[in-house]
Structure 1
């Protein structure tokens, strides 16, 4: 999910100082125009195969599909031609700053982490004591629903903070987003988080007999 440009580099591992021997790629490879995935291998792996049997018995019905491959090649050419990853890095910096400034201080907001244009915001019922929400309440799903009504599509998931399960939402806008659009995304997210947080606080106030 975080490869082929989302973090500001073509491969997320480039920022980690490592290089895999074998890598699977997909999702963003064709920019969503058509389903496509692939496998990359380095020279070491290639040499083992070449100096061994010399063959790799591996085939699927839609392997090397001409239309899918053409879409992928076109996408990669545009990314290079238009310096798209420069925009991912620049807008990613703005997105991080906006998230930390506008979302970071809100009730129930825990860690905010990510890179480039791929960020997550975690939520906990008690951030000081690291107490997660009851999954039955579906706190993050409620945020997603409100955000959708506001015109913002975000993803939801469950993650780990140490050994603790946490709910989170994922923000991963298009690579060509601009600064004003980034600020709109964060403003809408803030509105959704605030609305759900206020509803939760109201439903769980001592006046309602719920802690």
Structure 2
């Protein structure tokens, strides 16, 4: 490296502010090596990603554009997003109305700390959510994800019992379901139950959660058993679990209204939600429904629990994915009036907060998404086209030798694949059937995004593909989805 000497005059200021030379110092100035950073370390010239991707050494395809239900990648692929990512982008991509709402909010305020300040965007979203429950829920706690909403629900359930007029501090336990998923933080992972996802974290998960059977009629209903008998059996299992734990030690029962990826879009058997709630309330415990994936219109109604004839409203409800449609990270906890009233008579505060709760930009995006869903009648579309999607799936794939079950509601459908249709035997995990179907869908000749799930039977065995397209798809889109999926299935399984 070449060095160059320069002489700099070091001057002192006189009292009059004049620069007066005092002495000279030679300083060797070395030119900067432009190949090195400020710390003198030469960066590697590599195209490797600096992101810790799901597969450490595999960078996914880069999305360079989007419109409606289509994603465009750097390698020239056009992908029909039949899953909305993970059931998120429910009004499609790149909607100019939502972008305009975000910019408008940025012109007002991009962020303020919600314990100190309120914003119109957050107030309006909370009001929209409470009104949509016909008065069942009276307050909303707005966060940035479904996992955060679950964490808040668990904390609020615990706090509720410490603030009753006669406190019940012994209530520290929760009951949830096997083959469920409620998030990936330690608290939410503790109430969820997917053996594969929990395995390495088991030693540090909470020990205050018991798990009962899921509502999974395809595999768990006995031959000749009626819906009523099956529901009664599951309710008795929940009752027995309350008794084994001590009924007065349980805070709440937590369940997905319609099971998500871990089980694969299984709707509740008629009467199931009502029966589970009755067991909870009999013992003074709360009934918590997780609608992070199935709520906000995904199953054809804004709240998945409203499908039940008796409108089985929960005490606490979580929502997220369809709330903001992916335009900004957002989730929410909806709270029943009696829980709010208990806190109001007690400490008057929820002992929990998060930096980005009620984020104004996220709330503005969600407000616009919900306006579009209402004014474009997308719930009706999701219901009608969802029925058509289910019908076509059964017509085109129901008889395939490796399709065990097709189930779902609205625009939320799961196809469970089996090695043997008659015995319901799953493919060995090493076959990675769901993963192969997913990867094949990305090939240019198919151009479709499919959501793969594994371990659906017991956390290790079982393969499912989930479809969760945008609410504003067309009948032609539905037919195309089924056509592409059928060709992918034939390509992988024959």
Aligned to 1:191, the other structure's residue is in SS state helix
Distance in 1 (alpha carbons) for counterparts of 2:455 and 2:479: 25
Q: 1:106·1:194 contact (CA, 8 Å) conserved in 2?
A: no
1:125 and 2:423 aligned: no
Point out 4+ residue stretches in structure 1 off by more than 6 angstroms: none
> 2:404 and 2:420 mapped to 1: Cα distance?
9
Cross-structure match for 1:203: none
Superposition pairs for residues 23-42 of structure 1, below 5 Å? 23-42=317-336
Stretch moving more, 8-17 or 111-120: 8-17
Does the CA contact (< 8 Å) of 2:385 and 2:410 recur in 1?
Answer: yes
2:469 matched residue in structure 1: 173
Are the aligned partners of 2:437 and 2:450 in contact in 1 as well (CA < 8 Å)? Answer: no
Task: Show the counterpart of 1:193.
Answer: 489
Calculate the TM-score normalised by the size of structure 1.
0.89
Report whether the alignment pairs 1:61 with 2:355: yes
Is the deviation greater in 148-157 or in 164-173? 164-173
**Mapped pair 1:48 → 2:337:** no
Instruction: Report deviation, 1:64.
Output: 1.3
Q: How many Å separate the matches in 2 of 1:65 and 1:141? A: 36
| Worse overlay, 107-116 or 13-22 | 13-22
Deviation at 1:66? 0.8
TM-superposed deviation, 1:162 = 8.8
**C-alpha distance in structure 1 between counterparts of 2:407 and 2:455, whole Å:** 12
SS of equivalent to 1:126: coil
Deviation at 1:131, TM superposition (A): 1.2
SS in structure 2 of the partner of residue 85 of structure 1: helix
Greater CA drift, 85-94 or 53-62: 53-62
Gaps of 5+ in 2: 1-292
Q: Does 1:12 align with 2:308?
A: no
Match in the other structure for 1:155: 451
Residue aligned with 1:190, SS: helix
User: What's the offset of the Cα at 1:25?
Assistant: 1.3
Contact 2:456/2:464 (<8 A) preserved: no
Q: Could you say what secondary structure the match of 2:448 adopts?
A: coil
Contact persistence 1:118–1:172 (CA under 8 A): yes
Residue in structure 2 matched with residue 184 of structure 1 by the alignment? 480
Structure 1: where are the runs of 5+ without partners? 199-211
Q: Distance in 1 between matches of 2:440 and 2:460?
A: 26
Q: CA deviation at 1:122?
A: 0.5
Give the total of aligned pairs.
198
Q: CA separation in 1, counterparts of 2:371 and 2:480?
A: 29
- Which has a greater percent of helix? 1
Change (3 A) 1:164 1:138: closer
Distance in 1 (CA, whole Å) between partners of 2:331 and 2:460 is: 33
Q: Kindly provide the CA deviation profile for residues 94-146 of structure 1, in whole angstroms up to 9, marking residues without a partner as x.
A: 10111000111112001000000000000000110121101101111111111
User: Whole-Å Cα distance in 2 between the matches of residues 162 and 9 of structure 1?
Assistant: 30
Select 2:398's aligned residue among 84, 93, 104: 104
Shift of 1:58: 2.3
Correspondence for 1:206:
none
Provide closer, same or farther for how the CA distance between residues 163 and 152 of structure 1 changes in structure 2, counting only shifts above 3 A: closer
Q: CA deviation at 1:81?
A: 1.1
TM-score (norm 2): 0.39
- Residue number in structure 1 paired with 2:378: 84
Q: Cα offset for 1:166? A: 2.0
